[in-house]
């Protein structure tokens, strides 16, 4: 299975060291075509990757696979997972293998709620962009969004209470109090300031403290 060249170029624009690859597998049935799924690979500098034989690295080379031996020890074996596509969609490497090592990042399949169509249409690129945002920033953005939702719900409740009080005040049997505007205005100004302050507190309610 080959990805469209425009997909590979779009991925390169997202990050110049990311590449698509095809992770092959054995056929589930005799007539199955192209068994496997697309995968995401990142070209790491060789100085950032442990030795090939080191099973403790969290960065798994595309051509390596950890295997547990009969003695219980984990060893790294060389494997041929499938082709890596260059930034134009071809299979010829467009990086210097003396300095860059393809690292297996993720399988773009149901384990990440993705389908083949998500990759071929380019929809998966939005997920890749999101993965690239540092976790602290993602938490911050999520907290701000939750705070805005809380603020909006508070506004809705306040609006409903205002409507209710207005309705109660206009009922025929409601007791009315007449107050001159010059006496009411200072209290209204104070109310507006408290309202603005409350908005800020609600908006930042879920925001984690600075570290």
Rounded CA gap, 90 and 171, in Å? 77
pLDDT for the residue numbered 70: 84
pLDDT for the residue numbered 72: 81
Nearest to 131 by CA among 2, 5, 18: 18
Task: Indicate the domain borders of the chain.
Answer: 5-132, 137-203
Element housing 40 (H / E)? strand 36-45
- Which residues are within 8 A (CB) of 172 and not within 5 positions of it... i.e. 6 or more apart? none
Residues pairing with 101 in the sheet: 44
The answer to whether residues 70 and 113 touch, using CB atoms and an 8 Å cutoff, is no
pLDDT for the residue numbered 205: 45
pLDDT for the residue numbered 87: 95
Query: pTM of whole model > 0.85?
Result: no
Q: Which two tokens stand for residue 122?
A: 């380019």
Residues pairing with 36 in the sheet: 24
pLDDT per residue as tens, the chain (211 positions) = 889 999 999 999 999 999 999 998 878 788 777 788 999 999 988 887 766 555 555 678 898 887 888 888 877 788 889 999 999 999 999 999 999 999 998 899 998 899 999 999 999 999 999 888 775 565 566 666 666 666 666 556 555 555 555 555 555 554 444 445 555 556 555 655 555 555 455 455 444 444 3
Rounded CA gap, 36 and 34, in Å? 6
Tell me how far apart the terminal alpha carbons of the chain are, to the nearest angstrom. Answer: 46
Residue 129 burial (CB < 10 Å; 0-12/13-18/19+)? exposed
């Amino acid at each position: 299975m080959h990805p469209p060249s425009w997909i590979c170029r779009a991925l390169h624009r997202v990050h110049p060291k990311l590449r698509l690859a095809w992770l092959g597998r054995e056929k589930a049935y005799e007539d199955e075509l192209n068994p496997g799924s697309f995968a995401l690979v990142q070209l790491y500098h060789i100085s950032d990757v442990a030795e090939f034989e080191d099973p403790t690295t969290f960065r798994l080379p595309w051509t390596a696979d950890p295997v547990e031996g009969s003695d219980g020890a984990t060893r790294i074996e060389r494997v041929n997972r499938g082709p890596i596509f260059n930034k134009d969609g071809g299979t010829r490497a467009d990086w210097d293998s003396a300095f860059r090592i393809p690292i297996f990042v993720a399988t773009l399949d149901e384990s990440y709620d993705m389908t083949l169509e998500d990759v071929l249409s380019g929809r998966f690129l939005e997920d890749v962009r999101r993965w690239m945002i540092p976790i602290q920033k993602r938490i911050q953005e999520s907290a701000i969004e939750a705070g805005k939702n809380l603020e909006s719900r508070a506004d809705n409740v306040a609006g409903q209470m205002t409507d209710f009080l207005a309705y109660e005040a206009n009922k025929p049997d409601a007791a009315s109090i007449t107050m001159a505007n010059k006496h009411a205005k200072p209290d209204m100004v104070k109310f507006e300031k408290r309202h603005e302050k409350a908005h800020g507190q609600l908006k930042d309610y879920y925001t984690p403290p600075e570290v």
